[in-house]
Amino acid sequence: MDEATASNIIRWYEGLEEEVVEFLRYVPPQNQNMNVWSPRLATVIVEACGLIGSLFRYISPAEVTIHGKKKKRDKLKILDYAELYSAKLQLPARKIILLISPSSYRNPFSIWSKQVSKSSTTPSWWTTNNDLKHQRIDNFCKATMNTAIDALAGALLIISKVPELLPAVLRHGWLDL
């Protein structure tokens, strides 16, 4: 991955994060508000999941074997990524600290901790992404703050696991060494 592409990925994420922070200026992220929905959050969810899917695709080999069957990279689905990367990247154990008041932990891939061979579950925020992607108008009410934050946390976790992005993360000031 070249520097420009890595920086574009980081800027893509930062733009989504800025959208959520702007939303939180008007709707505080307190328990009673976590199910507030907005068409603006629908865009954040779909874009964050697009970023996740793109990064999973990027780190995947051209062809993989899933449950004894060969699949090309461009045919992989979210549950294939669960099979390939859940344990390898320790995704179910990874948490994001949401540094807003009140602070909280997000664990967007926790559902994959229950993964049993040939069986895993799609995270609810990914299911919402699919609903929004295919029938956004009918599913606006699923675009909640809770779902947007989980999708964004998922994107941040995957970014943190792609070694080629580390120089861009440093250039963009995400880590102070």
The C-alpha torsion from 52 through 173 and 168 to 76, rounded to 10°, is -10
Please check whether residue 71 lies inside any domain of the structure: yes
Count: domains in the chain: 1
Q: What does each of the 177 residues of the chain score in pLDDT, given as a tens digit?
A: 999 999 999 999 999 999 999 999 999 888 899 999 999 999 999 999 999 999 999 999 999 999 899 999 999 999 999 999 999 999 999 999 988 777 889 999 999 987 555 557 899 999 999 999 999 999 999 999 999 999 999 999 999 999 999 999 999 999 877
Predicted confidence at residue 118, as pLDDT, reads 52
What is the reported pTM? 0.92
Please check whether residue 176 lies inside any domain of the structure: no
**CA–CA separation, 155 and 153 (whole Å):** 5
Residue 123's closest CA among 103, 97, 153, 145?
153
**CA–CA separation, 82 and 110 (whole Å):** 11
Please check whether residue 18 lies inside any domain of the structure: yes
**CA–CA separation, 51 and 57 (whole Å):** 10
Q: 43 is in which domain, residue-wise?
A: 3-171
Judged on CB neighbours under 10 Å (0-12, 13-18, 19+), 43 is: middle
Please check whether residue 129 lies inside any domain of the structure: yes
Please check whether residue 26 lies inside any domain of the structure: yes
Please check whether residue 177 lies inside any domain of the structure: no
Please check whether residue 80 lies inside any domain of the structure: yes
Query: How open is the CA angle 119-134-62, to the nearest 5 degrees?
Result: 55
Predicted confidence at residue 119, as pLDDT, reads 57
**CA–CA separation, 85 and 109 (whole Å):** 11
